Amino acid sequence: LFLAGDAHAESVQIFFLLLGLLCFERGRERSGFLALGAAVMSKYLALPVLLMCLTRKNLRHAWWAALPLAAFLPFLDAGGGIFAGLVAFGGGHHYNGLLAEALWPLLGRGTPLALIAILALMLAAIFLSVHDRMRSAWLSLGCVVLCLPTVHPWYLAPVAVFLPLFPSRAWL
């Protein structure tokens, strides 16, 4: 209901996310990067999954992920304003975010930078220690949710699609 009834972009993101991972599973690296690039364009939160799919062997195909950036071409006159909502939403607002709610009383306006640093460390740990693409995608999406300053119920949908593969009482 959250996704379809309210037209949240997570449904588009999930489609391209799963399509990209399926392409990688089938050895179609270019198509995988293209689909994951489209997932990132629909919702930036898919970016860590794209990063988790990079290997030495497929790095030469990674530029395919940039092709969906062409969707920005009609909006080039906005300049950096394209990201103004993301910056304002991520930097000045917080609601229901697990780590953000714990850190905000301690760090105040420094909380968003601390969350970025924590997320970067967690993603680096996953990238270096988890060598299963599906599991690293699931874990990285979970880390993103944990580090978001604002968490709405529909933000959990990309994590939830992996629950049949990786059952977890905590995420349920």
Length in residues, the chain: 172
Q: What is the pLDDT of residue 89?
A: 67
**For residues 108 and 89, what is the distance between their CA atoms, to the nearest angstrom?**
15
State the pLDDT confidence band at 96, using cuts at 50, 70 and 90. Answer: confident
The residue type at 158? P
Q: What is the DSSP letter of 69?
A: G
pLDDT at 3: 79
pLDDT-based confidence at 90, cuts 50/70/90? low
How far is it, in rounded angstroms, from Cα 163 to Cα 167? 5
The arithmetic mean of pLDDT across residues 128-152, rounded, is 95
Res. 84 pLDDT band, cuts 50 70 90: confident
The pLDDT value given to residue 9: 87
Cα–Cα distances (Å) from 92 to 5, 13, 112, in that order, read 28, 25, 8
Q: Which residue has the tokens 């880390």?
A: 143
- Indicate the SS3 state at residue 167: coil
Q: Judge whether 53 and 134 are in contact, CB under 8 Å.
A: no
Q: What is the mean pLDDT of the chain?
A: 91
Mean pLDDT of the region 117-126: 98
Greater pLDDT, 1 or 38: 38
Q: Is the pLDDT confidence value at 22 over 90?
A: yes
